[in-house]
A and B are shown apart, each in its own frame.
Chain A
């Protein structure tokens, strides 16, 4: 457990040293939400409906990218090989990353939700649940990134993992088309992809539901996080060729 926190502290120190990345992670979603608010200036209900959903999607994309690149960097710089000769357990490594990026995503969620509310987003359900879902999605993105980075050998592959793993989820998550109107196969596909449940939870919150209305979706997101952590630990190898 100590080594988990030591690793999280180290990853956060690395992030602190990279102010531009932090700025991008926090400013970019604000900018995009600002564009949407501007585009639908005359129909404020659009922001009320889609704002929370976007707040739930950004962290998945951003954290997935940042983690898969960071882990690849650890592999290529030789620091991962060195870590594997120290007492750190593979679970410490994965949890340390998830914890550090969880902290960053909390910051992101606070700023992005605050900004959206200032722009006029009116969430009918409790606002704190929007934070909770956003942070869980960020941790999910981080753990998926860790698991996916094991499949990538080069930066090119790592960056391509994002469209490969995130875009299908974006297409089927219910943002482009309500899921009950999709062809049956696609609806089933959407059910096995985690972003669907994040969007579902956010849509329910936007519609004014409370914890009872989203607890099922939240449970599924948590299950996916656990699964991704297990996958991340299993794909990390102490011995390499």
Chain B
């Protein structure tokens, strides 16, 4: 078991021996990861690496899950967690025929916010995602980027302790991406925990920790600084490619994984690599 000495609080998410089967195929053959409380953890990996499946297991909507998934100290999917965990799916999952305010008001009501406090909660969530002034607009008439921000606001309005975000910045322009990451940092500073999947690599540097996933196997669990230092790559994107290439090489020759196969693994003792078969 890893320990994070700087964190007194229990981990926001603790996954041990997670195995998920989809369509008869183990998309996650056996996974151990941890999301420390009060931090932003980035989940990176090529498409099909199991990022969404892991996030769905954390929020408790994934079927055929075995192993331990503990969220805020309780088993994932427990009814009591549904008030404390916010989930934003990859495609905007809001009602396109309703206005922005109607959507947020409904999700605030589901979170148990009494009707008196709902207006303020909705306004706060709208300003978090910079959508002020669009209250009365039907979501259907918004741009793709605005839609995904409504979807994010629908999770923020419930003020969850843990936010699970599946590619929240896809389709957003650089200014909005920067603003959203500032929002994520602010939420983490106020004690919230965030698990954010992404494949925009320059966003990786904004995270406290990075989890690199490949074919459902954890390739690295590392800080952004250590990732750059130990791969010697000039930026996060190339560092990420170096790790994936190294993991692919190990996977391809079928030999037993060697600690030196992945940069960072030997130095940090945290990165893992397995070929997953």
Interface residues of A (CB under 8 A from B): 2-3, 6-7, 9-10, 13-14, 17-18, 77-79, 81-88, 237-241
Q: With A and B bound together, what is the CA distance between A226 and B64 in angstroms?
A: 30
Q: With A and B bound together, what is the CA distance between A64 and B240 in angstroms?
A: 51
Cβ-closest chain A residue relative to B91: A78
A75 CB, min distance to chain B CBs, angstroms: 11
Contact of A240 among B61, B77, B94, B107 (CB under 8 A): B61
Cβ-closest chain B residue relative to A83: B110
Segment touching A, from B30-38, B96-104, B214-222: B96-104
B interface residues, tally (CB under 8 Å): 35
Q: Are B94 and A79 in contact (CB under 8 A)?
A: yes
Q: Which residues of B contact A17 (CB under 8 A)?
A: 97-98, 138
Known: A3-B110, A82-B89. A10 touches B61 (CB 8 A): no
Q: Which residues of A contact B93 (CB under 8 A)?
A: 77-79, 81-82
The answer to whether B187 has its CB under 8 Å from any CB of chain A is: no
Q: Which residues of A contact B65 (CB under 8 A)?
A: 239
Q: Are A78 and B89 in contact (CB under 8 A)?
A: yes
Known: A10-B95, A81-B89. A2 touches B109 (CB 8 A): yes
Contact of A13 among B64, B83, B98 (CB under 8 A): B98
Cβ contacts A to B, 6 pairs, < 8 Å = A6-B110, A14-B95, A14-B98, A84-B61, A239-B61, A240-B62
What 1/0 mask marks residues of chain B from 66 to 78 whose CB sits below 8 Å from any chain A CB?
Answer: 0000000000010
The answer to whether B184 has its CB under 8 Å from any CB of chain A is: no
Q: Are B112 and A87 in contact (CB under 8 A)?
A: yes
The answer to whether B201 has its CB under 8 Å from any CB of chain A is: no
Cβ-closest chain A residue relative to B112: A87
The answer to whether B242 has its CB under 8 Å from any CB of chain A is: no
Q: With A and B bound together, what is the CA distance between A77 and B64 in angstroms?
A: 22
Q: Are B97 and A81 in contact (CB under 8 A)?
A: no
Q: Are B111 and A85 in contact (CB under 8 A)?
A: no
In order of increasing CB-CB distance, the 6 nearest A-B pairs are A78-B93, A6-B109, A239-B63, A86-B110, A85-B87, A82-B93
The answer to whether B261 has its CB under 8 Å from any CB of chain A is: no
Q: With A and B bound together, what is the CA distance between A14 and B158 in angstroms?
A: 22
- In this complex, the member of A81, A85, A240, A241 whose beta carbon has the largest number of chain B beta carbons within 10 angstroms is A85
Give B34-76 interface residues, CB cut-off 8 Å to A.
59-65
Q: Are B22 and A241 in contact (CB under 8 A)?
A: yes
Q: Are B89 and A239 in contact (CB under 8 A)?
A: no
B91 CB, min distance to chain A CBs, angstroms: 6
Q: Are A18 and B97 in contact (CB under 8 A)?
A: yes
Cβ-closest chain A residue relative to B89: A78
Q: With A and B bound together, what is the CA distance between A45 and B91 in angstroms?
A: 56
